[in-house]
């Protein structure tokens, strides 16, 4: 069964860094656009950043611009979210999602495959 497997995350102090990974299982990454979403209790799931099939990167959240970077390694079927200069407001459960489209889609309902989610906590 096709799905996404996430790794990374955890507890980090403000100003620190984390790197999240999202690996496809059962299908090749190179035909898919990947978006990272964040879920905070009591709030709607929100798109964070996206990397398209053509490696165009879109950051949906203004506060992450200049701090978060996405990359993909199609040979490893893995997408990465490098998060630097982390802030307490970056805290949440991060999910990766994949869809076989050429462009980034902001609406999570458009995505077929989802990772299991990983907790990111930024706290001193």
DSSP per position, 21-70: EEEEESS-GGG-EEEEEEE-TTS--EEEEEE-TT--EEESSGGGTTTEEE
**CB contact at 8 A, 94 and 82:** no
**CB contact at 8 A, 53 and 101:** yes
What percent of the chain clears pLDDT 90, i.e. is strictly above it?
98
How much is the pLDDT for 10?
97
Instruction: Quickly state the pLDDT bin for 2 (edges 50, 70, 90).
Output: confident
**CB contact at 8 A, 118 and 6:** yes
For 8, the enclosing helix (H) or strand (E) is none
Instruction: Quickly state the pLDDT bin for 63 (edges 50, 70, 90).
Output: very high
- For β-strands 78-83 and 68-73, DSSP reports them as antiparallel
Q: Evaluate if residue 1 carries a pLDDT over 90.
A: no
């Amino acid at each position: 069964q096709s799905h996404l497997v996430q790794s990374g995350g955890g507890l980090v102090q403000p100003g620190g860094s984390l790197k999240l990974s999202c690996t496809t299982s059962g299908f090749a990454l190179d035909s898919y656009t990947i978006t990272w979403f964040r879920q905070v209790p009591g709030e709607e799931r929100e798109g964070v950043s996206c990397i398209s099939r053509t490696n165009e990167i879109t950051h949906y959240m203004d506060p992450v611009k200049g701090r978060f970077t996405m990359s993909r390694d199609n040979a490893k079927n893995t997408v990465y979210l490098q998060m630097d200069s982390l802030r307490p407001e970056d805290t949440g459960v991060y999910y990766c999602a994949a869809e076989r489209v050429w462009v980034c889609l902001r609406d999570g309902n458009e995505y077929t495959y989802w990772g299991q989610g990983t907790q990111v906590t930024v706290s001193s």
